[in-house]
């Protein structure tokens, strides 16, 4: 294949553009925040579950307190009724029974009051645990959301950059001969790079030094011959002044 030295050298510019495109695509597909976002999201699932557990505990204690209050209300109604009957002038036997029941109801009310006090203390502790769990979840959620916003902003910048680079690539590619461009694309799709600059005896993109025999063979090619790196198959762009053998 033949191509002017300028067209061959322009492939190096195209490869720089392609490298920029690859970096922008990687930035979009694999943002640096991804691992931490995933870790924080997993942690947030645990913390939100803890919040629900604490909320359930607080609700259970609240239900216990409500039941105790209802029981206390029933006790007070019975005490008021018995006291009213006693004050109404019950006979001695009835009065004795009412007094005994009032004493029992008094002890029951004391028990309910004590249980209510204990439950209120438990509720206070449960509400504090709930507040702590919510604070921990909110902190992680805030960090996660900040990283998501950062990721999205950087991805948008990368997409905008990618649009500009794509336009630049099309402009450069349009100046190249079709067969040369096709060969470059074929090699690049297979090895990740399609062109390599020869500096001294080093094929830069491949990172491989040519042997003396390989270098001599490359040096014998005319300037407009398209020569490929013997190791990587990349199109080898030779120095403008030729190869010193």
- Provide the pLDDT for residue 243: 66
* Residues ≥6 apart with Cβ < 8 Å to 175: 7, 10
In the predicted model, what is the mean pLDDT of residues 1-5?
Answer: 93
pTM for the model stands at 0.68
pLDDT digits (tens, 9 = 90+) for 128-144: 999 999 999 999 999 99
* Residue 236 backbone phi and psi in degrees, to 5: -95, 115
Q: How does DSSP assign 169-225, residue by residue?
A: HHHHHTTS-HHHHHHHHHHHHHHS-SEEEEETTEETTTTEEPPHHHHHHHHHS-TTB
Distance CA 155, CA 29 (A): 9
Q: Which of the pair, 241 or 88, is modelled with greater confidence? A: 88
Contact 187, 233 (CB under 8 A): yes
In the predicted model, what is the mean pLDDT of residues 195-214?
Answer: 92
Mean residue pLDDT of the chain comes to 93
pLDDT digits (tens, 9 = 90+) for 21-39: 998 898 899 999 999 999 9
For residue 90, pLDDT over 80 is answered with: no
pLDDT digits (tens, 9 = 90+) for 141-162: 999 999 999 999 999 999 999 9
Distance CA 245, CA 125 (A): 86
Distance CA 206, CA 216 (A): 18
- Provide the pLDDT for residue 242: 66
C-alpha distances in Å from residue 236, one per residue of 38, 199, 218: 43, 10, 9
For residue 175, pLDDT over 60 is answered with: yes
pLDDT digits (tens, 9 = 90+) for 116-126: 999 999 999 99
- Provide the pLDDT for residue 244: 57
- Provide the pLDDT for residue 245: 53
Contact 32, 222 (CB under 8 A): no
Query: Helix, strand, or coil here: 2?
Result: strand
Contact 166, 21 (CB under 8 A): yes
Residue 214 CB-density burial (10 A; 0-12 exposed, 13-18 middle, 19+ buried): middle
């Amino acid at each position: 294949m033949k191509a002017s030295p300028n067209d061959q050298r322009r492939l190096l510019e195209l490869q720089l553009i392609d490298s920029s495109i690859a970096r922008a695509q990687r930035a979009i597909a694999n943002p640096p925040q991804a691992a931490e976002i995933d870790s924080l999201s997993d942690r947030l699932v645990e913390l939100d579950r803890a919040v629900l557990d604490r909320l359930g505990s607080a609700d259970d204690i609240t239900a216990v307190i409500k039941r105790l209050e209802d029981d206390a209300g029933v006790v007070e109604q019975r005490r008021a009724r018995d006291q009213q009957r006693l004050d109404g002038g019950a006979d001695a036997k009835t009065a004795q029974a009412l007094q005994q029941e009032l004493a029992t109801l008094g002890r029951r009310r004391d028990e309910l009051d004590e249980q209510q006090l204990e439950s209120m203390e438990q509720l206070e502790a449960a509400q504090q645990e709930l507040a702590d769990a919510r604070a921990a979840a909110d902190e992680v959620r805030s960090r996660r959301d900040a990283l998501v916003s950062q990721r999205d902003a950087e991805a948008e910048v990368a997409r905008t950059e990618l649009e500009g680079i794509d336009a630049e690539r099309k402009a450069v590619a349009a100046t190249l001969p079709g067969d040369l461009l096709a060969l470059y694309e074929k090699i690049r799709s297979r090895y990740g790079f399609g062109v390599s600059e020869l500096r001294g005896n080093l094929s830069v993109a491949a990172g491989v030094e040519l042997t003396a025999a390989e270098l001599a063979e490359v040096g014998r090619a005319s300037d407009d011959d398209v020569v490929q790196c013997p190791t990587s198959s990349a199109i080898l762009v030779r120095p403008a002044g030729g190869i010193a053998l």
